Amino acid sequence: MAQVTVTIDGKAYRMACEEGQEGHLTDLANRFDGYVGHLKGQFGEIGDLRITVMAGIMVMDEIAELTRRVAGLEAELEGLRSNRDTVVAATARTEETLAQALDEVTNHIRIITEKLNNRAPAELN
Protein backbone atom coordinates (compact mmCIF):
# COMPACT_ATOMS: atom_id res chain seq x y z
CA MET A 1 0.00 0.00 0.00
CA ALA A 2 1.24 3.43 -0.92
CA GLN A 3 0.75 6.48 1.26
CA VAL A 4 0.22 10.08 0.31
CA THR A 5 -0.25 13.24 2.29
CA VAL A 6 -3.06 15.51 1.13
CA THR A 7 -4.01 18.95 2.35
CA ILE A 8 -7.60 20.01 2.91
CA ASP A 9 -8.40 23.40 4.38
CA GLY A 10 -4.75 23.87 5.35
CA LYS A 11 -4.60 20.62 7.30
CA ALA A 12 -2.43 17.70 6.22
CA TYR A 13 -3.90 14.20 6.15
CA ARG A 14 -1.87 11.08 5.56
CA MET A 15 -3.81 8.53 3.51
CA ALA A 16 -3.19 5.05 2.19
CA CYS A 17 -3.97 4.12 -1.39
CA GLU A 18 -3.16 1.50 -4.00
CA GLU A 19 0.25 1.69 -5.66
CA GLY A 20 0.09 4.05 -8.62
CA GLN A 21 -3.02 5.86 -7.33
CA GLU A 22 -1.14 8.55 -5.42
CA GLY A 23 -1.64 11.21 -8.10
CA HIS A 24 -5.32 10.39 -8.46
CA LEU A 25 -5.88 10.62 -4.69
CA THR A 26 -3.98 13.91 -4.56
CA ASP A 27 -6.13 15.30 -7.40
CA LEU A 28 -9.33 14.22 -5.65
CA ALA A 29 -8.18 15.82 -2.40
CA ASN A 30 -7.30 19.04 -4.23
CA ARG A 31 -10.74 19.14 -5.83
CA PHE A 32 -12.41 18.54 -2.46
CA ASP A 33 -10.23 21.27 -0.94
CA GLY A 34 -11.59 23.57 -3.65
CA TYR A 35 -15.14 22.88 -2.46
CA VAL A 36 -14.14 23.55 1.13
CA GLY A 37 -12.39 26.78 0.12
CA HIS A 38 -15.41 27.89 -1.92
CA LEU A 39 -17.76 27.31 1.00
CA LYS A 40 -15.45 29.07 3.43
CA GLY A 41 -15.38 32.01 1.06
CA GLN A 42 -19.17 32.11 0.99
CA PHE A 43 -19.96 31.43 4.63
CA GLY A 44 -16.79 32.27 6.51
CA GLU A 45 -15.69 30.30 9.55
CA ILE A 46 -18.73 28.24 10.49
CA GLY A 47 -16.84 25.23 11.78
CA ASP A 48 -14.63 22.65 10.11
CA LEU A 49 -17.10 19.81 10.46
CA ARG A 50 -19.99 21.81 9.07
CA ILE A 51 -17.92 23.03 6.10
CA THR A 52 -16.72 19.48 5.44
CA VAL A 53 -20.27 18.12 5.56
CA MET A 54 -21.50 20.86 3.25
CA ALA A 55 -18.65 20.17 0.81
CA GLY A 56 -19.46 16.45 0.93
CA ILE A 57 -23.11 17.18 0.18
CA MET A 58 -22.09 19.41 -2.75
CA VAL A 59 -19.96 16.59 -4.14
CA MET A 60 -22.80 14.09 -3.69
CA ASP A 61 -25.18 16.50 -5.44
CA GLU A 62 -22.82 16.68 -8.42
CA ILE A 63 -22.49 12.90 -8.44
CA ALA A 64 -26.29 12.53 -8.38
CA GLU A 65 -26.63 14.96 -11.30
CA LEU A 66 -23.92 13.16 -13.27
CA THR A 67 -25.53 9.80 -12.50
CA ARG A 68 -28.86 11.11 -13.78
CA ARG A 69 -27.21 12.43 -16.94
CA VAL A 70 -25.34 9.17 -17.53
CA ALA A 71 -28.60 7.22 -17.12
CA GLY A 72 -30.24 9.52 -19.66
CA LEU A 73 -27.36 9.08 -22.08
CA GLU A 74 -27.45 5.31 -21.60
CA ALA A 75 -31.19 5.29 -22.36
CA GLU A 76 -30.58 7.45 -25.43
CA LEU A 77 -27.79 5.13 -26.54
CA GLU A 78 -30.06 2.11 -26.11
CA GLY A 79 -32.70 3.86 -28.22
CA LEU A 80 -30.12 4.60 -30.91
CA ARG A 81 -28.97 0.97 -30.86
CA SER A 82 -32.56 -0.19 -31.19
CA ASN A 83 -33.12 2.20 -34.11
CA ARG A 84 -29.90 0.98 -35.71
CA ASP A 85 -31.04 -2.62 -35.37
CA THR A 86 -34.38 -1.73 -36.96
CA VAL A 87 -32.66 0.06 -39.84
CA VAL A 88 -30.20 -2.80 -40.34
CA ALA A 89 -33.07 -5.31 -40.46
CA ALA A 90 -35.03 -3.13 -42.91
CA THR A 91 -31.93 -2.70 -45.06
CA ALA A 92 -31.39 -6.46 -45.09
CA ARG A 93 -35.01 -7.00 -46.20
CA THR A 94 -34.63 -4.34 -48.91
CA GLU A 95 -31.39 -5.91 -50.12
CA GLU A 96 -33.03 -9.33 -50.23
CA THR A 97 -35.97 -7.95 -52.22
CA LEU A 98 -33.60 -6.17 -54.58
CA ALA A 99 -31.54 -9.35 -55.04
CA GLN A 100 -34.70 -11.30 -55.90
CA ALA A 101 -35.75 -8.63 -58.40
CA LEU A 102 -32.30 -8.70 -59.98
CA ASP A 103 -32.49 -12.49 -60.22
CA GLU A 104 -35.85 -12.22 -61.97
CA VAL A 105 -34.57 -9.58 -64.39
CA THR A 106 -31.46 -11.67 -65.05
CA ASN A 107 -33.62 -14.70 -65.80
CA HIS A 108 -35.83 -12.67 -68.16
CA ILE A 109 -32.76 -11.32 -69.95
CA ARG A 110 -31.34 -14.84 -70.22
CA ILE A 111 -34.61 -16.14 -71.67
CA ILE A 112 -34.82 -13.25 -74.14
CA THR A 113 -31.17 -13.80 -75.10
CA GLU A 114 -31.79 -17.49 -75.70
CA LYS A 115 -34.85 -16.72 -77.85
CA LEU A 116 -32.91 -14.14 -79.84
CA ASN A 117 -29.99 -16.53 -80.32
CA ASN A 118 -32.39 -19.26 -81.52
CA ARG A 119 -34.12 -16.87 -84.00
CA ALA A 120 -31.00 -15.17 -85.31
CA PRO A 121 -30.00 -17.85 -87.80
CA ALA A 122 -33.55 -18.14 -89.20
CA GLU A 123 -33.90 -14.40 -89.66
CA LEU A 124 -30.56 -14.11 -91.46
CA ASN A 125 -31.77 -16.52 -94.16
pLDDT band at residue 79 under the 50/70/90 scheme: very high
Per-residue burial over 37-59, b if 16 or more Cβ lie within 10 Å, else e, is eebbeeeeeeeeeebbebbeeee
Tens of pLDDT, residue by residue over 7-43, are 999 999 999 999 999 999 999 999 999 999 999 999 8
Mean per-residue pLDDT for 42-46? 88
Render 40-56 in DSSP notation, one character per residue: HHHH-SS-HHHHHHHHH
Determine the distance from the C-alpha atom of residue 9 to the mean position of all C-alpha atoms in its chain, rounded to a whole number: 36
User: Which candidate, 62, 60, 55, places its Cα nearest to that of 9?
Assistant: 55
pTM: 0.63
Other Cβ atoms less than 10 A from the Cβ of 8: the count is 19
Tens of pLDDT, residue by residue over 91-119, are 999 999 999 999 999 999 999 999 999 87
